[in-house]
Amino acid sequence: MYLRPEDRARPNRMALRIAVVGGVGVTLFAILFFRLWSLQILEGSENLAEAKNNRTRSTKIVAPRGKIVARNGEVLVDNRTSLALQVDTSKLPAEEGARNAELRELGALVHMKLPRVLERIEEETKVVAAGAPITIRNDVGYNLIYYIEEHPGKFPGVTVEKVFVRNYPDEEEAANVLGHAGEVSEEELEEGPYKGLEPGEVVGKEGIEYSYDKYLRGTPGISRYQVNALGEPTPGGKLTSTPPIPGKNLKLTINPAVQRAGEAALAERGLPGAFVSMNIHSGQILGMGSYPTFDPTVWTKPLSNKEAELFFESEVSPLFNRATESAYPTGSTYKIMTGLAGLENGYVTGSTVVDDNGYIELAGQKFENSEGAVNGPISLVHAYEVSSDVYFYKLGARMWDTNDLQNWSHKMGIGDPTGIDIPDGFDGLVPSKQWRDQLYEEGETERPWSQGDDVQLAVGQGDLQTDPLQMAIAYATLGNGGTVVSPHLGMEVMDPAGRVLKEIDPGPRRHVDIKPESRQLIMEGLHLATSGPGGTATPVFGEFPIEIAGKTGTAERYGQQNQSWFISLAPYPNPNIVTVVTIEQGGFGAESAAPANKQILEAYFHHDLEKETEEETKETEESYEGEYEATTGEEEVPYEEETGEGG
């Protein structure tokens, strides 16, 4: 029988749909099956480890930094514990309103308004590494810990941590030397000596803290604990703990008595200035200070923008170390360089006499003695005694276009890196014909080098730029006979028990050949400057019981009053300490710097002066008793024995 097309059986559409859906289901099941097989069989061990990690958390235990002590063991910097309110910004609510609400309530707990809290977060985000918690406030109370622990869900990302902060028992003492420490920044993690550290670690930022950070910074510990599904620690969930390793201690060469005397002397004058006291044989810094100074405790707390401006933008910034980073003319204290260049290169001898009529004239320009003094015929030694500018003007003029004065200046350490073990700044400038002529060719100055430039340099003026530390090195080189020392503040690295692990002695940098007769002539002149009848510093040191050699300096600075300098080598004739003091706008060298220098020497020679005073008192008493017996024929009876009074 013939079937028409319309009579044939039609496919069941429902069955087709079921077949399609079933095929898709089988495919999905196969994918799921192979995925589960992969997770459990192929990646099982790895996933098991990750699952366990999701149940545990680890926190870093900060290591205390090592102590910094003076040469006698007196503590200059140690640590104290502080409670810090910290915020992990990644765990704050994403929505701005909820975020600000939490921060507003948090700020109220520590008496901070929301704008200040937001400002703190913004400021800290710029200086700490990404991922590190932001410290909102240090030194909060234990009540805050209790409150936050009692409301764990109310302040997500907020913790109160016990941290170590630096402690300064003597507040401002040696602040510019010690520097400060702080959390490592994002930039520091990417390059430099702190590259590769973890966010939140505390590192040295300036001064000794920076230079010896690798010793002072300890090794953090780790604490691992178990958490629940919300990431909160479970009761008794502590798993393991690796204790931190404290940093090593550092002993400095600083003599506390010298340091305090120098800082007090500067503070009494109340003008910007600096001082350096150094052993001329070893280069050990016995004291170094700059005024105005600061209390480094300020770095243990978050700084506001206004507070930061006081440090970084003030014209007399206390962070500026004038002992190592300044660029000063020195006035007449520079004359030892001129004298050495003249003697060693044969321009003068000890018997050379110059007629000092009060001035010299070059190309129509007069160069005069200070206050118009006229000294008449004068030798080198007496030129140092009375600080004759004319003598050194003429000597500088004779060395014009020879570079002899510049060469000897560099030999003595002027205009070169000092090598001191704290960060310093500008290396200084000894102006020369080559330097100025190049500037003239480049259109940076209005004239080339002239004879007047050498004349100015001969008395520490003109374009000379140096600092107290470089001058200390130069005078030490003269005092010890030619050894250019390496100034240093570090003395010993010790473990927490006080055992010495490393002695710090960089050794001399080089030796300069100075003829003994040249040294003797200049030292004799410097001695007369503090003790001779015409000595510029005799009014200050004439009665000082310790013989010293020294030189006053009065430096002219554009737009300011004269800057006062005094540099001493003591005791004379075989010194072991050089002391440099300079005071901006302090007037003549004998007015400000010399008396301040004397205060430092009194502290350094304290025991010698005490002993001498006792001996003088004993001699006076014995002399009086002898005169009494010779006059009366009787032995003097002490008052207590005569009256029965006393102890």
Q: What is the DSSP string of 160-208?
A: EEEEEEEE-TTTTTTHHHH--EEEPPHHHHHSSTTTTPPTT-EEE-SHH
The span from the CA of 130 to the CA of 98, in Å, is: 23
**Average pLDDT rounded to a whole number, residues 514-542:** 98
pLDDT class for 643, splitting at 50, 70, 90?
Answer: very low
Looking at residue 292, what is its pLDDT? 94
> Which CATH topology does 257-606 take?
Beta-lactamase (3.40.710)
pLDDT class for 488, splitting at 50, 70, 90?
Answer: very high
The rounded Cα 19 to chain-centroid distance in angstroms is 83
Q: Could you report the per-residue pLDDT of 581-627, keeping only the tens digit for each?
A: 999 999 999 999 999 999 999 999 998 776 655 555 555 555 555 55
Out of 3.30.1390, 3.40.50, 1.20.120, 1.10.8, the CATH code matching 82-167 is 3.30.1390
132, pLDDT greater than 80: no
Residue 238 to residues 54, 160, 231, Cα–Cα distance (Å): 15, 18, 14
Angle of the 593-604 helix axis to the 606-632 helix axis, nearest 10: 80
429, pLDDT greater than 80: yes
Looking at residue 626, what is its pLDDT? 57
Looking at residue 640, what is its pLDDT? 39
If phi > 0 it is left, if psi is from -120 to 50 it is alpha, else beta; for residue 73 that is left
Question: What is the model's pTM?
Answer: 0.82
**Average pLDDT rounded to a whole number, residues 519-532:** 98
Looking at residue 635, what is its pLDDT? 54
**Average pLDDT rounded to a whole number, residues 550-556:** 97
Angle at 465 between CA 459 and CA 471, to 5 degrees: 70
Angle of the 468-480 helix axis to the 335-344 helix axis, nearest 10: 40
Looking at residue 58, what is its pLDDT? 64
Return contacts of 2-11, CB within 8 angstroms, 24+ apart: none
The share of the chain scoring above pLDDT 90, in percent, equals 56
Looking at residue 104, what is its pLDDT? 87
Looking at residue 304, what is its pLDDT? 60
Looking at residue 124, what is its pLDDT? 72
Looking at residue 432, what is its pLDDT? 97
**Average pLDDT rounded to a whole number, residues 393-400:** 96
461, pLDDT greater than 60: yes
pLDDT class for 647, splitting at 50, 70, 90?
Answer: very low
Looking at residue 615, what is its pLDDT? 58
Q: Could you report the per-residue pLDDT of 52-106, keeping only the tens digit for each?
A: 555 666 667 778 999 999 999 999 999 988 888 888 887 888 888 888 888 888 8
Is there a contact between 216 and 247 (Cβ–Cβ < 8 Å)? yes
* Strand locations in 302-371 (E): 354-356, 359-362, 365-368
| Residue closest to 482 by CA, chosen among 581, 614, 593, 340 | 340
Looking at residue 8, what is its pLDDT? 52
pLDDT class for 112, splitting at 50, 70, 90?
Answer: confident
User: Is the fold of 82-167 the same as that of 257-606?
Assistant: no
Q: Per mean pLDDT, which range of 92-101, 346-355, 418-427, 499-508 is the poorest?
A: 92-101
**Average pLDDT rounded to a whole number, residues 348-357:** 96
Angle of the 335-344 helix axis to the 404-411 helix axis, nearest 10: 110
Sort 322 into a burial class: Cβ within 10 Å, 0-12 / 13-18 / 19+: buried
Structure-token pair, residue 42: 């192929």
**Average pLDDT rounded to a whole number, residues 334-350:** 97
Looking at residue 182, what is its pLDDT? 85
Looking at residue 405, what is its pLDDT? 98
Is there a contact between 264 and 289 (Cβ–Cβ < 8 Å)? no
Angle of the 516-531 helix axis to the 468-480 helix axis, nearest 10: 120
More confident residue, 165 or 209: 209
Looking at residue 113, what is its pLDDT? 86
Looking at residue 230, what is its pLDDT? 52
Q: Per mean pLDDT, which range of 50-59, 311-320, 398-407 is the poorest?
A: 50-59
Q: Could you report the per-residue pLDDT of 266-313, keeping only the tens digit for each?
A: 999 999 999 999 999 999 999 999 999 988 888 777 666 566 666 666
Looking at residue 616, what is its pLDDT? 55
- Contacts of residue 444, defined as CB under 8 A and 6 or more positions apart, other chains included, come to none
Report which secondary-structure segment, H or E, holds 237: strand 233-242
**Average pLDDT rounded to a whole number, residues 356-367:** 93
**Average pLDDT rounded to a whole number, residues 457-461:** 98
Q: Could you report the per-residue pLDDT of 197-217, keeping only the tens digit for each?
A: 877 788 999 999 999 999 999
Sort 70 into a burial class: Cβ within 10 Å, 0-12 / 13-18 / 19+: buried
Q: Per mean pLDDT, which range of 218-227, 329-338, 413-422, 455-464 is the poorest?
A: 218-227
pLDDT class for 11, splitting at 50, 70, 90?
Answer: low
Mean per-residue pLDDT over the chain, rounded:
85
**Average pLDDT rounded to a whole number, residues 542-550:** 96
Looking at residue 32, what is its pLDDT? 73
Is there a contact between 79 and 167 (Cβ–Cβ < 8 Å)? yes
Looking at residue 129, what is its pLDDT? 60
Q: Per mean pLDDT, which range of 128-132, 272-276, 395-399, 540-544 is the poorest?
A: 128-132
φ, ψ of residue 15 to 5 degrees: the values are -65, -35
Is there a contact between 323 and 487 (Cβ–Cβ < 8 Å)? no
411, pLDDT greater than 70: yes
pLDDT class for 641, splitting at 50, 70, 90?
Answer: very low
644, pLDDT greater than 50: no
Return contacts of 431-438, CB within 8 angstroms, 24+ apart: 431/406, 431/457, 431/462, 431/463, 431/464, 432/403, 432/406, 433/401, 433/403, 436/463
Looking at residue 241, what is its pLDDT? 74
Provide the residue ranges of all domains of the chain, joining segments of one domain with +. 82-167, 257-606
More confident residue, 560 or 27: 560
Looking at residue 44, what is its pLDDT? 58
The span from the CA of 472 to the CA of 506, in Å, is: 17
Looking at residue 236, what is its pLDDT? 56
The span from the CA of 398 to the CA of 345, in Å, is: 11
Gyration radius of the chain over CA positions: 37
More confident residue, 517 or 134: 517
pLDDT class for 646, splitting at 50, 70, 90?
Answer: very low
